[in-house]
Amino acid sequence: MKKEVLIAIVIGFSLGLLITYGIWTANRAIKNNPATKTQTEQTTQVSPTPQEETATANKLLLTIDNPADNTLVDKNKIVVSGTTAPKATVVLLSEGNEKIMEADSNGKFSAEITLSTGSNDLDIYAYDKSTDNEATQKLTIVYSTAEI
């Protein structure tokens, strides 16, 4: 009887340590993620509507034409398009998605992303290497197949 209790205690302690290590590792990975740091910094600032042109201190413009912020969609794929500086690098980040593209010679860009069910936060970054400028936009898209 004493032997089985001791084995149960050792197994329980080992599982507890394993779970604690997993949680600690996940928290450390989230804190070191540059996308998470940027998102946290952006939530403390008042962000303009995505239809407006946003200029950073260095005056790079980033306009999101489609979709509008807080859009409700019933399809899991959506095209994100907009305008920025010609040949600027554009990065779209969302949960499970990362698209990197270059704007065309007119500054137009477009990419299709897959949405997960519920609220999807999209972070769009534009970088103009020639002038070393950058701009950001944040959108929220809600994907739902529920019938109203």
The CATH number given to whatever domain includes residue 124 is 2.60.40.10
* DSSP annotation of 88: -
Note the pLDDT of residue 55. 43
pTM equals 0.56
Query: Which tokens belong to 126?
Result: 């534009």
Nearest to 64, CA basis, from 129, 124, 140, 106: 124
Tell me if 102 is assigned to some domain: yes
Tell me if 38 is assigned to some domain: no
Phi-psi region of 96 (alpha: psi -120 to 50; beta: other; left: phi over 0): left
Domain that holds residue 53: 48-143
C-alpha 128, offset from chain centre:
20
The count of domains in the chain is 2
Sequence-ordered strand ranges (E) for the chain = 54-55, 61-66, 71-73, 77-83, 89-94, 97-102, 108-114, 118-128, 133-143
Answer for the pair 101, 111: CB distance below 8 angstroms, yes or no. yes
What digits encode the pLDDT tens for the residues 25-76?
Answer: 877 877 776 655 544 444 445 555 544 444 444 578 888 998 888 888 888 8
* DSSP annotation of 145: -
Same domain, 137 and 64: yes
Token pair 């969302």 in the structure block, residue: 94
Token pair 């200029």 in the structure block, residue: 55
Residue that wins the pLDDT comparison between 137 and 97: 137
Residue that wins the pLDDT comparison between 48 and 142: 142
- Cα separation, 49 vs 71, in Å, equals 12
Tell me if 42 is assigned to some domain: no
Note the pLDDT of residue 133. 86
Tell me: pLDDT of 5 over 90. Answer: no
Note the pLDDT of residue 147. 75
Strand partners, 96: none
Same domain, 22 and 54: no
Tell me if 40 is assigned to some domain: no
Same domain, 102 and 138: yes
What digits encode the pLDDT tens for the residues 74-115?
Answer: 888 899 999 998 889 999 998 888 889 999 999 899 999 888
